[in-house]
Structure 1
Amino acid sequence: MTKKLFYDNIYQKEFTANIASVKEIDGKFHIELNQTAFYPEGGGQPCDKGTIEGLEVSYVYEKNNKIYHIIDREPPKLHLLKCAINWERRFDHMQQHLGQHILSACFHKLFDAKTVGFHLGNEFVTIDITLNNISPVQIEKVEYFANQVVFNNLHVKQLYPTASKLSELPLRKPPKVKENIRIIEIDQFDFSPCCGTHSSHTGEVGVIKIRKWEKIRGNIRIEFVCGNRALKDFYWKNDTINKISKLLSVKDIDALSGVERIFSQYNSQKKEIRKLKEQLLDYEASTFYQSAYIVNNIKIINNIFDNRNFEDIRNLAAKIVSKPDVIVLFGLKNEKAQMILSCSKEIDINMTKVFKEVCPIINGRGGGNAHTAQGGGDQTSKLEEALKTAQDIIIHQYLV
């Protein structure tokens, strides 16, 4: 059994240890030490990282009460190895994990909501709580309560109670194990079974900030950050607000109303642009229709556009063929060659069949129905040839 130094002194950063065993698995060395300050992954918390005799520890796990440290090379000696944990990573996990205990306790005390899921990620922490819905006012209330617990700098203790003593504790949730039960107590405020690492005082959490929340499978998922993560979150948000307020020439507290005003103007302008665009397409459709090439009373429009939006060309074709006795053969040159072949509904021509005959000319693919077919290929230089071929097929096989 590996001696767990991280329970004796959560702030121990360096230690010496002897190798108890070495296993080589897939080119990696799994080192068991007689004692370790490296916390193994478990209880929703990622493992510690660091070095053993200068060799990088990439992962730490526990199996059968033995803790293994994965490194790339076998250590140069077996005894008195110098080991060091990555303190920045450890302290971050301590802040986030204790912050989770505090936040979960606040949800439980204020709204009788249980925490049924916990994930400590690289950027954010999430908990799933048993509420169907939650309001911004409730979120603010929980967040304020949680931070008062932080600011009061309550003492955090680890307890190993007997069975009789355990039954007397007001546990927020039942333990998942039946022996060696470890309880994290936040100075009479919260009692929760847990195997993770936590700061010894709530003040070290710094601050708890709820970032967002959403409904997940009947529960509410809360995303939050604590301590240094909350500070980094504040940095970029404050910087963003300052930049927005500078762009809008307003005070930072007026940034939201400034953005809302611009967004409202944008929506109005977008509607006006859509209306003008529709009018332009109507005018363009009428112009093409009036100047069409006529064969046996059928109007044929053959045209290639450059650098237009294909959706606009498709809408233009639809407007034209909504008129009687007209065939549209449109091409578009952008990064590739695109075609749309369409006809009025009373014309008995299978445009998809015509399209498939000429599509290989532009090395293209596509499809459609009897009245409209579309697609594209990479041979832009042959787009004019493809449309000319389509026109010849239509004239000679269907109209003459």
Structure 2
Amino acid sequence: MKRKYYTNSYVGRFNTKILREETLKDGRHLVVLEETYFYPTSGGQPHDLGTIAGVKVLDVVDGDEILHVVERPIGLEEVECEIDWKRRFDHMQQHAGQHILSACFEKLYDAETVGFHLGDEYVTIDVTLDELTSAMAQKVEDAANELIYRNLLIKTYFVKPEELKNLPLRKPPVVDKNIRIVEIDGEDYSPCGGTHPKTTGEIGIIKIRKWEKKRANIRVEFVCGYRALADYQWKNDQINQVSNLLSIKDKETLDGVTRLYEELKDLRREVRKLKGQMLEYEAQKYYNMAREINGIRLISQIVTDRDLGEVKQLANKIVEKERVIVLFGVKGEKAQVSFSRSDDLDVNMNELLKEVIGLINGGGGGNARSAQGGGTDINNLENLLKSAEIILKNRYLK
């Protein structure tokens, strides 16, 4: 079987014969062609897509022979094949861009590329650096794009193992036969079986998007060619929208957003302060309204349109005072309850909750000081609070 993608990455349509076709037990349909331009998943580069005799190619698997996983059986001997060219050329741009970027990292910072992944949206490489600053990244990016704009030839050829010593390889080959070299016109030599354009100019542009520490290395995320254009387009659109919203120039958006962010932090601090004051006032109000039974204040109240978290905060603020029990029911899309008591009382709120929570078809839990729960029977929330009051009066408030 001939792997024609090695010699010409630009063939998008070709005719050939089916040598073998079979259906596996797992239901997958496999086709082996006499020759193929379909690239299989290998070396960090994803497989091609397309059609064979109009039938979709779902996967291309590398091995002793290239296996084309197709949507359904084909049943023909002579077939016309078509490769998804947009996907193929995108992979060509990204893979060649990776060679250039890796070469620049090595040349400028002696950083070896030890990982490569070509994803659907972004490409990443792992380089042997302890850190990467913005200035370093920009220097690498500038050097990489300079190689692109020189429109250098990208050559591919096979060499024998004994010829390797004559080549300044950036990395050693992982195979010991059929060694294919991708050369960027004297600037970079890499053993590689992937698909690449004929010149660096076809890559268009390389843009480093971001990077992060990954174990002992730095993972660099970047895009090339049409991906870089798409990345610039959405970012430009968003910058323009933000600048219009703030009525400032596009180059001033960072300063404008930073200013708004600082103002928002100040406002949040002020809101927290005001909420704290309101909570103090509301807690005192409920405490003053509480019924007193044998020296213990009891608050039993249904509230609406309140978040359970806010209700718990309110209850906690109330029970900071001595000898008080708070039973809150929260009526919203579902029924929720919050039971709390002061530290100086010997009442187990978790046990109390578990005794009555079934009245609203619910569940919950907590500890002796406070417990929360919820259920679906909103209409029975009042009965739940009344039942909890009766238990408290009969068992604890005598």
Give the shorter-chain TM-score range: over 0.9
Q: CA deviation at 1:297?
A: 1.3
Please give the alpha-carbon distance, in whole angstroms, between the structure 2 residues aligned to 1:183 and 1:395. 87
Please give the alpha-carbon distance, in whole angstroms, between the structure 2 residues aligned to 1:149 and 1:290. 78
* Corresponding residue number in structure 1 for 2:66: 67
Q: Deviations over 1:337-383 (max 9, x none)?
A: 11111111111111111111111111111112222111111111111
Instruction: Pick which of 4-13 and 186-195 moved more.
Output: 4-13
Q: Deviations over 1:134-161 (max 9, x none)?
A: 1111111111111111111110111222
Please give the alpha-carbon distance, in whole angstroms, between the structure 2 residues aligned to 1:276 and 1:320. 17
Q: How does 1:34-113 map to 2 (within 5 A)?
A: 34-64=34-64, 66-79=65-78, 81-113=79-111
Please give the alpha-carbon distance, in whole angstroms, between the structure 2 residues aligned to 1:323 and 1:27. 70
Please give the alpha-carbon distance, in whole angstroms, between the structure 2 residues aligned to 1:56 and 1:157. 31
Q: CA deviation at 1:76?
A: 4.2
* Corresponding residue number in structure 1 for 2:280: 282
Quick check: 1:27–1:72 contact (8 Å CA) kept in 2?
no
- Residue identity in the other structure for 1:48: D
Q: CA deviation at 1:398?
A: 1.3
Q: CA deviation at 1:14?
A: 1.2
Give the fraction of aligned pairs with identical amino acids, expressed as a percent: 51
For normalisation by structure 2, the TM-score amounts to 0.98
Quick check: 1:45–1:97 contact (8 Å CA) kept in 2?
yes
- Residue identity in the other structure for 1:111: Y
Quick check: 1:156–1:200 contact (8 Å CA) kept in 2?
yes
For normalisation by structure 1, the TM-score amounts to 0.97
- Residue identity in the other structure for 1:369: N
* Corresponding residue number in structure 2 for 1:320: 318
* Corresponding residue number in structure 2 for 1:5: 4
Please give the alpha-carbon distance, in whole angstroms, between the structure 1 residues aligned to 2:397 and 2:49. 78
Quick check: 2:6–2:194 contact (8 Å CA) kept in 1?
no
Secondary structure of 1:182's counterpart equals strand
Please give the alpha-carbon distance, in whole angstroms, between the structure 1 residues aligned to 2:223 and 2:271. 43
2:138 counterpart of 1:140: yes
Please give the alpha-carbon distance, in whole angstroms, between the structure 1 residues aligned to 2:232 and 2:290. 63
Q: Deviations over 1:264-320 (max 9, x none)?
A: 111000000000000000001111111211111111111111111222111111111
Q: CA deviation at 1:113?
A: 0.6
* Corresponding residue number in structure 2 for 1:27: 27
Q: How does 1:389-400 map to 2 (within 5 A)?
A: 389-400=387-398
2:211 counterpart of 1:213: yes
* Corresponding residue number in structure 2 for 1:243: 241
Say which of 348, 359, 376 aligns to 1:350: 348
Q: How does 1:174-323 map to 2 (within 5 A)?
A: 174-323=172-321
Please give the alpha-carbon distance, in whole angstroms, between the structure 2 residues aligned to 1:393 and 1:73. 70
* Corresponding residue number in structure 1 for 2:149: 151
Q: 1:281 to 1:51 in 2, by over 3 A?
A: same
Please give the alpha-carbon distance, in whole angstroms, between the structure 1 residues aligned to 2:353 and 2:162. 83
Q: 1:176 to 1:244 in 2, by over 3 A?
A: same
Secondary structure of 1:259's counterpart equals helix
> Which stretches of structure 1, 4 residues or longer, exceed 4 Å deviation after superposition?
none
Quick check: 1:173–1:192 contact (8 Å CA) kept in 2?
yes
Please give the alpha-carbon distance, in whole angstroms, between the structure 2 residues aligned to 1:236 and 1:311. 38
Secondary structure of 2:265's counterpart equals helix
Please give the alpha-carbon distance, in whole angstroms, between the structure 1 residues aligned to 2:47 and 2:100. 21
Please give the alpha-carbon distance, in whole angstroms, between the structure 1 residues aligned to 2:300 and 2:60. 69
- Residue identity in the other structure for 1:375: G
- Residue identity in the other structure for 1:395: K
Please give the alpha-carbon distance, in whole angstroms, between the structure 2 residues aligned to 1:159 and 1:31. 28
Q: CA deviation at 1:45?
A: 0.7
Q: CA deviation at 1:261?
A: 0.7
Secondary structure of 2:168's counterpart equals coil
Please give the alpha-carbon distance, in whole angstroms, between the structure 1 residues aligned to 2:360 and 2:181. 72
Please give the alpha-carbon distance, in whole angstroms, between the structure 2 residues aligned to 1:88 and 1:235. 18
Q: CA deviation at 1:165?
A: 2.2
Q: CA deviation at 1:8?
A: 2.3
- Residue identity in the other structure for 1:113: A
Please give the alpha-carbon distance, in whole angstroms, between the structure 2 residues aligned to 1:370 and 1:7. 72
Q: 1:316 to 1:18 in 2, by over 3 A?
A: same
Q: Deviations over 1:214-242 (max 9, x none)?
A: 11111111111110111111111000000
Secondary structure of 2:372's counterpart equals strand
Please give the alpha-carbon distance, in whole angstroms, between the structure 2 residues aligned to 1:16 and 1:365. 67
Please give the alpha-carbon distance, in whole angstroms, between the structure 1 residues aligned to 2:134 and 2:63. 43
Q: CA deviation at 1:28?
A: 3.0
* Corresponding residue number in structure 2 for 1:169: 167
Instruction: Pick which of 6-15 and 386-395 moved more.
Output: 6-15
- Please list every run of 5 or more consecutive structure 1 residues that lacks an aligned counterpart in the other structure: none
Quick check: 2:161–2:176 contact (8 Å CA) kept in 1?
no
Please give the alpha-carbon distance, in whole angstroms, between the structure 2 residues aligned to 1:303 and 1:371. 18
Quick check: 2:306–2:330 contact (8 Å CA) kept in 1?
yes
Say which of 356, 359, 362 aligns to 1:361: 359
- Residue identity in the other structure for 2:92: M
Secondary structure of 1:330's counterpart equals strand
Quick check: 1:40–1:46 contact (8 Å CA) kept in 2?
yes
What do you get for the CA RMSD once the two structures are aligned? 1.1
Please give the alpha-carbon distance, in whole angstroms, between the structure 1 residues aligned to 2:321 and 2:29. 77
Secondary structure of 1:153's counterpart equals coil
